[in-house]
A and B are shown apart, each in its own frame.
Chain A
Amino acid sequence: MKKSVICFCVFLLLGSSLILASCGVFFTEEPALETVLDGPIDGLSQAQLQTFKVGDEEFGRVFTPATGLGPIFVEASCAACHTADGKGHPSTNLTRFGVGDPSDAARFDYLLHLGGPQLQHRSVMGYEAEKLPDIHGLARSVRSAPIVTGLGLIEAIPESEILRYADPDDADGDGISGRPNYVKPPAFFEPVIGHTSVEGKIFGRFGRKATAINLLQQVAEAYLNDMGITSDFLMQDLYNPLVGGPSGDNAPDPEVPAATVRAVTFYMQTLRPPSRRDADDPTVKQGEALFAQSGCAKCHVPSMKTGKSPIAALHEKTVFLYSDLLLHDMGPKLADHFPEGSATGNEWRTTPLWGLGVIGNLLGGQPFYMHDGRAKTLEEAIDLHGGEAQKSRDHFFALKDNEKAALLAFLRSL
């Protein structure tokens, strides 16, 4: 019996040791806040955090045919494109297409009868996906999903604050213009104080070409155009016109209620902005100075201030977004020949640079830069800059190696 008790004690000891040993070395650790993008902005109330959580869950919800996916779509969830609230992988890129004059949206055919302006290249089982039409001179605009963090702060920046940086006629002669994109609001658009109408059009600030006025529009349109999910805001399902009629989706419309769209909108409004890393490092500081000297900061404006916001956490804050949220001619290498609103086929909205140093962490270690993810390194991305950014690009490549390294270190710290 004595032997038995000893055996039992050994067994007990081993089991307990294993548990205790697991406490330290073997258990996983939470990643540092500055290496990821998700999480709520500081200062939300308990009630706001609850809505944030609902929105977070809906953002990650993957749709299936039973819950309304498609019948044609690009991806099955918000999070599939905005991985961990970050930038999209090239495999999730979407394509917009059309044909006509790239300098004027009024003279551009968005090929609605052929499934334009956005290609839904995937379809649920038993249905046919869209294909690009075989038309001479077809313009294709391939785009990655952008980072979605800090968007509430961007939304809260007053129009007047952004327009301070506009110089459509290049009055200062620095070669950089900066034009606002005024777009036709959707039927469900709800104007708030600060929205001004120019010939029935409203200032757009979201999307690669600044075609979305606010986050609600961005979210409702993404539900429909990217996932084929109808909502109270956009009730008509997407169908492949080449198939000839509605079929393939048996889920009743709307497939998500307005409350869901609003919860996801709130989630995006209250996602915290990306945190800086090594901001006080001397090399990073040197790089920041070079960034300004090179003229990069003329478009990638380091900061703006938000105005009044019903969400206290967004009210009158300084936003370090590194963008002017205006349209710029980026030259032939980046031209997609696809006009939208008042944006021409050469113009893109200045992409906020915050989160630049983190996106690789969320894409399997390989960052994919620029609007379509074609650049694998920051140097490649800078090299692609032309048009109004040509001078800054040339300035960067004329820098000494250590200066280049400092500037890149600064970019990676964002």
Chain B
Amino acid sequence: MRQQKLVFVRISLCSLWAWLCFLGSAWGQEAKGKAPDTRPVASGPTSRPVSKKATKQGLPLRYEGNFVEKPKDLPVPTVRGGIYDRPYLGRLGTSDALGGTSVALGGYAEFLGRYFLQEGLSDGFSFEARRFNLFFFSSLGRFVRLTAELEFEHGTSEIALETALVDLRFHRAFVLRGGILLPPIGRFNISHDSPRYDVVDRPLVSTLIIPSTYSDVGFGATGSFYPALGHKLYYEIYAVNGLRSGIINDSTEGTRIALGKSSAIFEANENGAPAVTGRLAYSGPLGIEVGLSGYAGIFNRFRDGAEDIDRALWLKIFALDMEISLGPVTIRSEAALAMIDIPDGLKELFAEMQWGIYTDVIWEFWKGRLGFLRQAALRLVGRVDYVDLHVGSFASTQQSIGDETLRLTAALSFRPYSGTSLRIEYQHSWITDRLGNMARRAGIQFGVATYF
């Protein structure tokens, strides 16, 4: 117990030191150049990200011929925080450092520290370089655009091309898209950048049932409609290679949809039957955004040439997501239901149905000038996470099968700029194994996530 207290005293001191360092460095910046805050404010799908400087001077900032993208021609984001709603795109047309203004580079980074205990036992304190992602955007005029995201996870232990897609824009209501894309299952998978969130961990439902971040290769279409002023409908629909049999074959814990991801997805389809995924969304007044989405695909190798070698096993995921802003309070939620065909020889051991939900309530209780920070903000966030990874009951006892987790998170986030979040949070989980034994896990995390 004494040792535990010492650990916490150290954590507290570290926390204090970290905040002082942050204040010191910010102070230093102010003294150095009094740089104005030109960071773009991440906007919604009904607006586009534009730097304050650009706003002040009017558009375009630079225009050097047809090849050069004008900011007003930026792609219309189909989701708030999605690939076309990132701050770096606001720089497009403002710099010729790369030999032209048709290319934009950006990214985000996320680092954190954490201390957790499960049933009173801890592995101690740990730091993590969780993500360092690079964004690329290039426009070859209004018709062809390319965007990509290269992800470095946990330092260099996982390097992945998360997105690399080409858009052919025929009309804002019809854009052909192909390449490595983010299947639009729910909202989180297509809008998951860490700096957008004020909680360190990703929602359980969006990582365990919707396997965010899930990239796949495929083709499809996307576009948006404006049925009335201030109202927008948008859609995305793609055919992709689809998740693989790792959902079952690689899992040591029962059905785990995220294990269906594989880098081999980008090379070929394991079973020759593409999966289909799509999302239909509406955005309107009060920053409301509601989406309905789904995925359906066969995940096992059921055919070899002309021979059927197994029963085709389907994975279907349905998701409902929403976001609404009521003054300083934003509510964000996502729910998903997955139905999985399980071979006869593995029934009960693997789940045929899973579901989950999360809800964030974000209260921006203070926003204003803080010294040299012109648009700083403080937010309190509460999150409820629940997933049931095995809906069903044991045939032998008729008892409900467990494999579920309830997690509560309370976080405090300081945003010196809209694209940067310094947060500290407390998390408490109730984890029930498949037999119904419950274990508690609790801990604190703090970290920083920022766009650049």
Contact = CB atoms under 8 A, between A and B. Distances in A.
B11 A19 contact: yes
A366 B15 contact: no
Given A18-B424, A23-B5, A91-B348, A83 B120 contact: no
B394 A30 contact: no
Interface in A48-93: 62-66, 72, 75-77, 83-84, 89-91, 93
Interface in A121-152: 121-129
Contacts of B301: 126
Interface string B416-429: 00000000101010
Nearest to A90: B396
A362 B410 CA distance: 30
Interface centre among A1, A27, A89 (most CB of B within 10 A): A27
A20 interface: yes
B349 A122 contact: yes
A8 B370 contact: yes
A365 interface: yes
Contacts of A30: 119-121
A76 B349 contact: yes
Interface string A274-314: 00000000000000000000000000000000000000000
Nearest to A91: B394
A75 B350 CA distance: 12
Given A7-B378, A22-B444, A28-B117, A363 B15 contact: no
A168 interface: no
A363 B394 contact: no
A72 B343 CA distance: 13
B396 A363 contact: no
Interface in B27-71: none
Contacts of A129: 344-345
Interface string A3-35: 010011001101110111011001111110000
B354 interface: no
Contacts of B348: 91
A245 interface: no
B298 interface: no
Interface string B421-452: 00010101000010111011111101000000
Contact of A28 (B346, B399, B433, B442): B442
A142 B436 CA distance: 22
B255 to A, nearest CB: 12
A361 B444 CA distance: 28
A364 interface: yes
B225 interface: no
B107 to A, nearest CB: 27
A28 B441 contact: yes
Given A19-B11, A23-B4, A91-B394, A8 B23 contact: yes
Contact of A125 (B118, B346, B395, B440): B346
Contacts of A1: 371
A11 B412 contact: yes
29 contacts: A4-B369, A8-B19, A11-B19, A11-B412, A12-B19, A15-B15, A15-B19, A15-B412, A22-B444, A23-B4, A23-B8, A26-B442, A28-B118, A28-B441, A29-B120, A30-B119, A31-B119, A63-B252, A83-B437, A91-B395, A91-B397, A124-B249, A125-B310, A126-B310, A128-B345, A129-B345, A361-B437, A364-B437, A373-B396
Interface of B: 4-5, 8, 11-12, 15-16, 19, 23, 117-121, 245, 248-253, 300-301, 309-310, 313, 343-346, 348-349, 366, 369-371, 373, 378, 394-397, 399, 402, 410, 412, 414, 424, 426, 428, 433, 435-437, 439-444, 446
